[in-house]
Chains A and B, each alone.
Chain A
Amino acid sequence: MIEFKNVNKWYGKLHVLNNINLKIPKGEVLVICGPSGSGKSTLIRCINRLEKIQDGQIIVNNTPVHDKATNLTKLRAEIGFVFQQFHLYPHMTVLRNVMLAPVNVKKMSKTEAEKISLAKLEQVGLTEKSGSYPAQLSGGQQQRVAIARGLVMSPEIMLFDEPTSALDPEMIGEVLDVMVNLVSEGMTMCVVTHEMGFAKKVADRVLFMDDGKIVETGTPSDFFDNPQTDRAAEFISKILTH
């Protein structure tokens, strides 16, 4: 479903993605972790071409993402993206935030878009907030709206870039619960997170990055209990004692 082939990316001299090879099959839940600056966010941001790559290929659903001829609008509509800072549109109500893409990208009628948007808001438990503005919501609620905004396009892939890192501790649970429910629907997910609980519970695979390289991959229990490399072991002990 998602494939990285010898992907390289530089920011100036900094080699942020160093020869990445990775296959993510349909339905897999992949957790990506690593120290800050290791390239994990960049990695998933390349999947929907929020970032360009200089070398190699990324293929999503048989479409070469970084090909000039690729219809990006269509590709992006099939990939949901959830940001650390939510990035809801502050000038729109919650419902309009969710409806925006169905109406303007899928050219759905307003009534139809409203119907599915309300269904997605129900799925994240926020039907009663549909008329509120983002600023009136808590961080956890905003992030759940952001997830609904991604889901409303019926994507096959959801990408999460540290979805709980900007949240107060008491709100992390509600967001993770929504994500766990997605797993049970068979969604293909790439999640950049340090939430070990989440990783252990639902991840099929954990990928550890450092210095732009994939250092280690494994099942959550292998990775957390029996890391193969010193760097991974050091990282795990740090997030445990944190």
Chain B
Amino acid sequence: MMSFYFGRLVEIYPFFLKGLWMTSKIAFISLVSCTLIGFILGIFRSSNSLILKRVVGVYVAFVRGTPFVVQIFIIFFILPEWGIQLDAFAAALLAMAIMGSAFICEIVAGGINSISRGQWEAATSSGLTLIQQLRLVIIPQAMKVILPPLVGQYVLLIKDTSVVSVIGVMELTRVGWVTVVRIPEGLMVFSLVGILYFSISYPLILLSNYLERKMSM
């Protein structure tokens, strides 16, 4: 019996590759957007402006305090009520960007806050603009603190892409669901799903460990 299903599984293997491709696509696009937005929010969060700090703080608190599934449902089911139509793929990307950027924001703000005030003052006194101070002096030093948890966060975000299956995006987890209906070998099907996720995240886990060791030197 088992071998019979295994044969079927080999048959529909391309279907899994498609799911893997979709997962990679969502993961890649959202990692890039989360990083960009997360850095900007993190800079706001660590800025001297009380308003920016508070606004970003509320955003982060809200995102961290609600389940990701609920956030996706809000975006996918409630936005259309307000006349904003999004297909499942776009909704998934938007939800990922909102969720991931909040977590990355905290990591970036923590890194920036770890840099002593003297560095800001020295850069300020030389006549560098705020953007230059960040780009040339502060962020390069903060990266040492930011990088290891950032890569760790990437691993979490990649795994969180599985949640977007709930709105019907045909990514890896969804492929597993659909397959298991036709091939009732849950363990086998979802082991394969798990292995495919692991193949993306494990290199990043190794990278995170490596960075952790390297940066602590």
Partner of A90, one of B124, B128, B136, B141: B141
Contact: B136 with A104, CB < 8 Å? yes
Contact A83 B118, CB 8 Å, known A89-B137, A90-B141: yes
Contact: B119 with A87, CB < 8 Å? yes
B121 at the interface (CB under 8 A from A): yes
B7 at the interface (CB under 8 A from A): no
Query: What 1/0 flags go to A77-103 for Cβ under 8 Å of B?
Result: 101110101011111000000001100
What is the CA–CA distance of A187 and B20 in the complex, to the nearest angstrom?
A: 67
B121 → chain A, closest Cβ, in Å?
6
Closest to B133 in A: A104
What is the CA–CA distance of A88 and B141 in the complex, to the nearest angstrom?
A: 12
What is the CA–CA distance of A101 and B129 in the complex, to the nearest angstrom?
A: 10
The winner among B125, B128, B136 for most chain A CB atoms within 10 A is B125
What is the CA–CA distance of A86 and B8 in the complex, to the nearest angstrom?
A: 69
User: Which residues on the A side are within 8 Å of B125 (C-beta)?
Assistant: 48, 50, 76, 79-81, 150
Closest to A77 in B: B127
A180 at the interface (CB under 8 A from B): no
B134 → chain A, closest Cβ, in Å?
12
B209 → chain A, closest Cβ, in Å?
23
What is the CA–CA distance of A85 and B128 in the complex, to the nearest angstrom?
A: 19
What is the CA–CA distance of A89 and B122 in the complex, to the nearest angstrom?
A: 8
Partner of B140, one of A75, A76, A91: A91
B132 at the interface (CB under 8 A from A): yes
Contact: A73 with B127, CB < 8 Å? yes
What is the CA–CA distance of A72 and B128 in the complex, to the nearest angstrom?
A: 10
- Which residues of chain B from 112 to 170 have a CB within 8 Å of any chain A CB? 116, 118-119, 121-129, 132, 136-137, 140-141
What is the CA–CA distance of A146 and B127 in the complex, to the nearest angstrom?
A: 15
How many of chain B's residues have a CB under 8 angstroms from any CB in A?
17
Contact: B118 with A85, CB < 8 Å? yes
Interface size class of A (residues with CB under 8 A): 20 to 34
Contact: A153 with B126, CB < 8 Å? yes
Contact: B141 with A101, CB < 8 Å? no
Contact: B118 with A100, CB < 8 Å? no
What is the CA–CA distance of A83 and B125 in the complex, to the nearest angstrom?
A: 10
User: Which residues on the A side are within 8 Å of B119 (C-beta)?
Assistant: 87, 89
What is the CA–CA distance of A73 and B130 in the complex, to the nearest angstrom?
A: 10
A144 at the interface (CB under 8 A from B): no
Contact: A105 with B118, CB < 8 Å? no
Query: What 1/0 flags go to A40-75 for Cβ under 8 Å of B?
Result: 000000001010000000000000000000001111
Contact: A104 with B122, CB < 8 Å? no
Contact: B128 with A105, CB < 8 Å? yes
User: Which residues on the A side are within 8 Å of B141 (C-beta)?
Assistant: 89-91
A80 → chain B, closest Cβ, in Å?
8
User: Which residues on the B side are within 8 Å of A89 (C-beta)?
Assistant: 119, 122-123, 137, 141
Partner of B118, one of A74, A76, A87: A87
Contact: A73 with B140, CB < 8 Å? no
- Which residues of chain A from 119 to 165 have a CB within 8 Å of any chain B CB? 146, 149-150, 153
User: Which residues on the B side are within 8 Å of A75 (C-beta)?
Assistant: 127
What is the CA–CA distance of A80 and B121 in the complex, to the nearest angstrom?
A: 12
Contact: B122 with A83, CB < 8 Å? yes
28 contacts between A and B (CB under 8 A): A50-B125, A73-B128, A73-B129, A74-B127, A76-B127, A77-B127, A81-B121, A81-B122, A81-B125, A83-B121, A83-B122, A85-B118, A87-B118, A87-B121, A87-B122, A89-B122, A89-B137, A90-B141, A101-B126, A101-B127, A104-B132, A105-B126, A105-B127, A105-B128, A149-B126, A150-B126, A153-B126, A153-B127
